[in-house]
């Protein structure tokens, strides 16, 4: 095992064991290095690596702290990695979305408040009769983000948000090339919204599956 990897594992163990919790400050570098049996250089590299994935927060002149460890922070690293996807893997991302989003939509039908449902309706109403592809994609992203958050599961919402980037290009391609895509998207969004509003989780799940699967099937044919 590389020295830096060993240092990362030792800091991780301190967090997993509860010795260091969210918001806690790490001991001074010299003290921590001595305690863990590491060189200060390897400890420094470990801290740098863990700060990049938002496990640690290095505050200049103040010290190093464990972050809140919230899913949105930790999963942000996934978003960074996904930005390097190849075009031929977009279909795989859509397949993952088809697994996750229907589940989130069903949960939203059970957990979203009436106020949140009205906010979802407002998102639908913000779209013009003849929207540009860019406006349609932005509205689509916000609609799905709202539902994911409405599921009440922060990990699930963060995962879905991470997957939105790679599939945005597919949405744009579809909007540019497939006849009736705008009307179809609006109709399906409305059906999803009404299923959530009427507290029908399985109906909401079905419409979400149809919606994501439609994009996936179009892309499969295009490729």
For the stretch 120-137, pLDDT in tens is 999 999 988 888 888 888
Distance CA 113, CA 215 (A): 29
**pTM of the model as a whole:** 0.70
Q: Are 102 and 212 in contact (CB under 8 A)?
A: yes
CATH number where 153 lies = 1.20.120.530
Tell me the average pLDDT across 73-97.
Answer: 71
Indicate if 52 and 114 belong to the same structural domain.
no
Indicate if 133 and 172 belong to the same structural domain.
yes
Indicate if 40 and 146 belong to the same structural domain.
no
Average pLDDT, the chain: 87
Whose CA is closest to 197, among 143, 137, 120, 129?
A: 120
Indicate if 41 and 22 belong to the same structural domain.
yes
Distance CA 20, CA 17 (A): 8
Most confident of 20-24, 40-44, 206-210, 216-220: 206-210
For the stretch 212-222, pLDDT in tens is 998 888 888 87
Q: For residue 94, what are the domain limits?
A: 74-222
For the stretch 29-56, pLDDT in tens is 999 999 888 888 989 999 998 988 888 9
Backbone angles phi, psi at 133, to 5 degrees: -60, -40
pLDDT value at residue 152? 95
Distance CA 112, CA 138 (A): 22
Q: Pick the range with the lowest mean pLDDT from 43-47, 84-88, 190-194.
A: 84-88
CATH number where 28 lies = 1.10.10.10
Task: Give the tokens for residue 121.
Answer: 């309706």
Indicate if 37 and 88 belong to the same structural domain.
no
Distance CA 192, CA 182 (A): 15
If pLDDT is split at 50, 70 and 90, which confidence band does 79 have? low
Q: 172 pLDDT exceeds 80?
A: no
Indicate if 119 and 21 belong to the same structural domain.
no
18, 53, 69 - which closes a domain: 69
Tell me the average pLDDT across 160-188.
Answer: 80
Tell me the average pLDDT across 184-197.
Answer: 95
Indicate if 32 and 97 belong to the same structural domain.
no
Indicate if 192 and 125 belong to the same structural domain.
yes
pLDDT value at residue 1? 47
pLDDT value at residue 59? 92
Q: How many domains does the chain have?
A: 2
Indicate if 65 and 81 belong to the same structural domain.
no
3-class DSSP state for residue 99?
A: helix
Indicate if 65 and 120 belong to the same structural domain.
no
């Amino acid at each position: 095992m590389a020295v830096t990897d060993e240092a990362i594992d030792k800091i991780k163990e301190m967090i997993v064991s509860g010795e260091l919790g969210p918001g806690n400050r790490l001991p001074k570098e010299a003290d921590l290095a001595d305690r863990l049996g590491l060189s200060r250089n390897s400890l420094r590299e470990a801290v740098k690596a863990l700060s990049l994935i938002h496990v640690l927060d290095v505050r200049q002149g103040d010290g190093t702290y464990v972050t809140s460890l919230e899913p949105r922070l930790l999963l942000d690293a996934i978003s960074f990695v996904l930005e390097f996807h190849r075009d031929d893997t977009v279909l795989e991302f859509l397949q993952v979305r088809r697994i996750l989003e229907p589940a989130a939509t069903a949960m939203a039908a059970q957990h979203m408040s009436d106020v949140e449902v009205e906010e979802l309706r407002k998102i639908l109403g913000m779209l013009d009769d003849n929207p540009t592809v860019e406006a349609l994609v932005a509205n689509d992203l916000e609609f799905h983000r709202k539902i994911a958050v409405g599921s009440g599961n922060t990990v699930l919402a963060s995962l879905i948000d991470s997957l939105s980037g790679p599939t945005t290009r597919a949405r744009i391609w579809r909007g540019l090339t497939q006849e009736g895509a705008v009307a179809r998207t609006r109709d399906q969004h409305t059906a999803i919204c009404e299923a959530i509003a009427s507290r029908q989780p399985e109906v909401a799940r079905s419409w979400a599956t149809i919606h994501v699967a439609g994009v996936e099937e179009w892309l499969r044919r295009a490729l």
